[in-house]
Chain A
């Protein structure tokens, strides 16, 4: 059983909603990355989504786009991200890590080479934003190496395609709760609840909901029906001004703790 599958099985057994923070690797402080990942886990993260910086993040809003630009300016790339995961695994062998990013860095690194290096470093899953289920052959080397393929579903995903996405998804299905870029603020919880219920009837994997989750209240509302909530832009925004590693970790803990508490209060 993979780390991701095991983690969701544990959550399910305890009736808990998963908390998945997203951070852009290397932002705000490359030197603080591994400490920050441990702090996220201490604050209640069940799985970490690590954004691989890309120069042209078409599906991301200004917050994550600027975080990517800052990280790239400091020389952060795929090789550095894998090194951090390897370092993180020295102290944490159980928290699943999903890399989220765009195809070009993977293609240029070489998909097969990336896949074996990622597995060796301790990466569990990969979400390639610009690689939809139709382009599965492109992602084949990653699956062959044992990386789970995290796929997205959106409000605009048709029923016919949802079947194919559910069929191909591994680890968990990431439901993008509205049509838009990351960090935007318009989400109708009723619409999302209905849609997630429909997806859960067809998916073999748990369903995580992201895009538009920004604080304890929205996390609790979404967590009432999702298997996990993903929090990205609001966290990245909070971390952006961190002055050093301690400050970054403190910011992460302060931000996640009330969200964790809200999710757990609902579970009891």
Chain B
């Protein structure tokens, strides 16, 4: 691929990031996607819309989230300084709310009163149920039966917020199946329904729109780095399932060629075992959920079931912009196993008093690996995308503890 001059120029008018992205959907979805694209193109440059979005990020979400120097963790690792972008401190406990606020405002502007969403770990479902309560919109969340079982607390949180949670029993009963089911609901109820996709996947304009709403993370972080440290970080890292928190952090740094970018995928039991969710590290280009991207599938093209201790990373595709960043070499993507993520979870808890989400623990594990290899004067910025309260039961169960 030819050298990219300006990474902020993507996607192109057809929703492509190089060879990836696009709009691979059934005919019935073309019209609602065109309607959404037109509405979003207007709103994204509308000063009143931007002002309302920023006002809610500040007073409802609690932004800006701080950059915190994990000093005891850094000293224990013995290498570069590890800095944490504290998205776990947002209202609802993760970066996901940046996107749901934005999309709920788009839905309201388009006159849609019924919101649907898919969720894996439940973080996006909670963030969607939250903004629906906040804006007085009806909310239906599709969630795989397997995920409902392992994320009971988030299911109950959604119900407390007034959402209906619909169990999905098809396929592997996880995030990808919830996405299929939500897409079917949308096809059937397009007239009054807005689909809030939770990650930077799906057909155009979703990968762009979800990125734009999460890009506040990287914009803030870049300014905070210059203010607090007088320079940009040497490396930035984030976990990648669909890739929304990662692209949120990465995007503002894409044209800063001296900043190394590393995404941490879920390697599950290890990539060699086949039980993982590392689409970029071990997948191949294909088409899933409306976009061309790297997917995990067999030789017949059937999407394979994935595995990760973290429900939020348990997805066989990845946002098309990440596929593009991989192929252009602008970002590296590596695997972090369940064991490595769990070890990082405990280490961060004991050294810094922070319970990270299992998803984010993959990024922390990667930050630890990077810091260890780098000199003390270097700065590793890690996106701590969510808090771990929701995962306490999973971790206890893995360690044989009955609560």
Residues of chain A having any CB pair with chain B under 8 Å: 53-59, 61-62, 65-66, 69, 72, 77-79, 102-109, 129-132, 134-135, 138, 151-158, 161, 165, 176, 179-181, 184
Residues of chain B having any CB pair with chain A under 8 Å: 14, 22-28, 30-32, 34, 170-171, 176-177, 180, 183-184, 187-188, 190, 284-290, 295, 297, 299-303
Measured in the bound complex, the distance between the Cα atoms of B300 and A109 in whole Å is 7
Closest to A156 in B: B31
User: CB-CB < 8 A to B285: which residues of A?
Assistant: 107
Contact flag A72-B302 (CB < 8 Å), given A59-B187, A179-B188, A180-B187: yes
A154 with B301: CB separation less than 8 A: no
Chain A proximity of B138: nearest CB distance (Å): 19
Measured in the bound complex, the distance between the Cα atoms of B303 and A53 in whole Å is 11
Can you spell out 25 A-B residue pairs with CB atoms less than 8 angstroms apart? A53-B302, A55-B297, A56-B171, A58-B25, A59-B26, A59-B187, A61-B184, A66-B170, A72-B300, A77-B302, A103-B24, A104-B288, A104-B303, A105-B301, A107-B287, A108-B301, A130-B24, A132-B30, A151-B27, A156-B27, A156-B31, A179-B188, A180-B187, A181-B187, A184-B188
Measured in the bound complex, the distance between the Cα atoms of B190 and A154 in whole Å is 13
B300 with A105: CB separation less than 8 A: yes
Measured in the bound complex, the distance between the Cα atoms of B301 and A109 in whole Å is 7
Measured in the bound complex, the distance between the Cα atoms of B25 and A176 in whole Å is 14
A179 with B300: CB separation less than 8 A: no
Measured in the bound complex, the distance between the Cα atoms of B300 and A153 in whole Å is 28
A134 with B301: CB separation less than 8 A: no
Which of A54, A58, A138, A176 meets B27, CB within 8 Å? A176
A69 with B171: CB separation less than 8 A: yes
A153 with B187: CB separation less than 8 A: no
User: CB-CB < 8 A to A65: which residues of B?
Assistant: 170
B27 with A152: CB separation less than 8 A: yes
User: CB-CB < 8 A to B300: which residues of A?
Assistant: 72, 77-79, 105, 108-109
Closest to A130 in B: B24
Which of B32, B170, B303 meets A156, CB within 8 Å? B32
Contact flag A69-B170 (CB < 8 Å), given A56-B288, A108-B284, A180-B188: yes
Measured in the bound complex, the distance between the Cα atoms of B12 and A134 in whole Å is 14
B301 with A130: CB separation less than 8 A: no
A55 with B171: CB separation less than 8 A: yes
Q: A105-B301, A134-B14, A179-B28 are in contact. List 19 more A-B contacts (CB 8 A).
A: A55-B302, A55-B303, A56-B288, A58-B25, A58-B290, A66-B170, A77-B300, A78-B300, A107-B301, A108-B300, A109-B300, A132-B30, A154-B26, A156-B32, A156-B190, A157-B27, A176-B27, A181-B187, A181-B188
User: CB-CB < 8 A to A57: which residues of B?
Assistant: 180
Top 3 nearest A-B pairs by Cβ distance? A77-B300, A105-B301, A108-B301
